[in-house]
Amino acid sequence: MSLELKKAIEQISKDKGIERHVLVTTLEEAVRTSVVRKYGDDIDIEVSLNEDSGEMEVYQFKIVVKEIDDPNREIDLEAARLHDPSVQLDDEMGFRLKIEDLGRIAAQSAKQVIIQKMRDAEQSLIYEEYKDRKNEIVSGMVQRRDKGGWVINLGRTEAILPREEQIPREHFKRNDRIQAVVLDVYKEARGPQILISRSHRDYMAALFRREVPEVDDGTVQIMAVSRDPGSRAKVAVMSKDRDVDPVGACVGIRGARIQNIVQELRGERIDIVVWSPDIATYSKNALAPAVISRIIVDEDNNLLEVIVPDDQLTNAIGRKGQNVKLASKLLGWKIDIFTESRYNEAGHIKGLEQIANMAGLNLEAILGAGYNNLELLHNTDDASIKESLNINDETLTELRNALNFVRSEFVELNSGPTEPKGNKKNNKKPNNKKKDRPRKEAS
């Protein structure tokens, strides 16, 4: 051992990024292991690196006794005084061992231990570096195809880009440079495994943080992201500063910021949606560019019933249902979309069913008599109703009362009330009316 060892430690520490004291400790443990393998584990030794000479020093310690019981740990007083005349009983003496005498097998064992310890230290360092980098963007070179995806060279280590985390119809070749977001970092026997993604919603959020300074400093917040990777996405944003337009900040001057993100995502169309604490307003923004007539909010079932003009159904649903699907994922609510004509028709049927229950009649009888909407029943004279439904005056009175009540509800529903149903102050419902689930409608 010489100063060459010291230089080697310094060089390895610099090249591998491993702290020097870790390498020194690893080397000391390797030498200790080799000494124990040759002399047995019942000896008391101390291993240390001499910083001045750069040599590894090994000392065996023995206790001075009158009579020796364990020659590996004890030395008699007479023999001890040959080394140090001033030594006394029960003193501990150290004797330097020549590690050059360890032999070829012991030296090879020490080398293997050193290599393994250095590998462990390097892997531990890589894990510590990347475990706190989740949701960050990393860049690397495509190295090879693996059975589960692509292996990406990040420099000091490798990452896995699984097939399911790739953007559909995206192709790579060896040495292509790509970017992705770190999804997870976990330990395995072969070393830390880094899982990255290009299709995850967190990758889009990370791109906005990189491209939009207002997002990076927290002035504009990304509230939610929903993606159909490679095709379309919706990003909900809000601004903490009243003077900062969140949509304008994300789009940038002449669309420069958003175009950088679109280009990185291979042309994926991105809708910037203004977030709102009011779910009806938020859902209208999320379903753009469709024009919305009314939205009925069913909070108990996390359901939105969205009514659109007949000519807006295609815009609301989107190609292959993409628009409503992305909006639903963005909101975290189920969305049912109706055209106005279909919803009104369904409303008439519900109204007639309610009238039948309140008047003690059969819905099929009312529909069978040709009364398929509330207005037709309302405009028919009493004599015709009695004859067609075969009812008496008392039942007719109950039917008229029920009809007047339900029509007022139906008209108010179509005018777009903002109060939850069942909270009207001046209308008392008859006791035999079915209770509606808590719903509210926003125009």
Question: Residues 6 or more apart from 194 whose CB is under 8 A from it?
Answer: 130, 154, 157, 158, 159, 160, 182, 184, 185
Identify the CATH number of the domain defined by range 277-443.
3.30.300.20
Lowest mean pLDDT among 12-21, 43-52, 311-320, 363-372: 12-21
Q: Cα dist. 239→5, 188, 208, 217, 389 in Å?
A: 59, 42, 14, 11, 60
**Long-range contacts: 123-132, Cβ < 8 Å, 24+?**
123/191, 123/192, 125/16, 125/17, 125/18, 126/156, 126/157, 126/191, 126/192, 127/185, 127/187, 127/192, 130/157, 130/182, 130/185, 130/192, 130/194, 131/185, 131/192
Identify the CATH number of the domain defined by range 3-124.
3.30.1480.10
Q: Do domains 3-124 and 277-443 have the same CATH topology?
A: no
208-275 sits in which CATH class? alpha beta
**Higher pLDDT pick, 359 / 117:** 359
Query: Per-residue pLDDT averaged across 115-136, rounded?
Result: 79
pTM (predicted TM-score):
0.62
**Higher pLDDT pick, 207 / 148:** 207
**Coil, strand or helix: which one is 281?**
helix
What does the domain layout of the chain look like in residue ranges?
3-124, 134-197, 208-275, 277-443
What is the structure's pLDDT at 103?
53
What is the structure's pLDDT at 300?
87
What integer best gives the mean pLDDT of the chain? 81
Lowest mean pLDDT among 167-171, 349-353, 412-416, 422-426: 422-426
What is the structure's pLDDT at 142?
93
What is the structure's pLDDT at 427?
40
Query: Per-residue pLDDT averaged across 241-255, rounded?
Result: 93
Structure confidence by residue, pLDDT tens digits, 371-417: 877 778 888 888 888 888 888 988 888 888 888 887 776 654 454 43
What is the structure's pLDDT at 277?
94
Residue 97 β-bridge partners: 58
- Domain 134-197 listed as CATH 2.40.50.140: yes
Question: Has residue 426 got a pLDDT over 50?
Answer: no
Percent of the chain whose pLDDT exceeds 70: 82
**Coil, strand or helix: which one is 60?**
strand
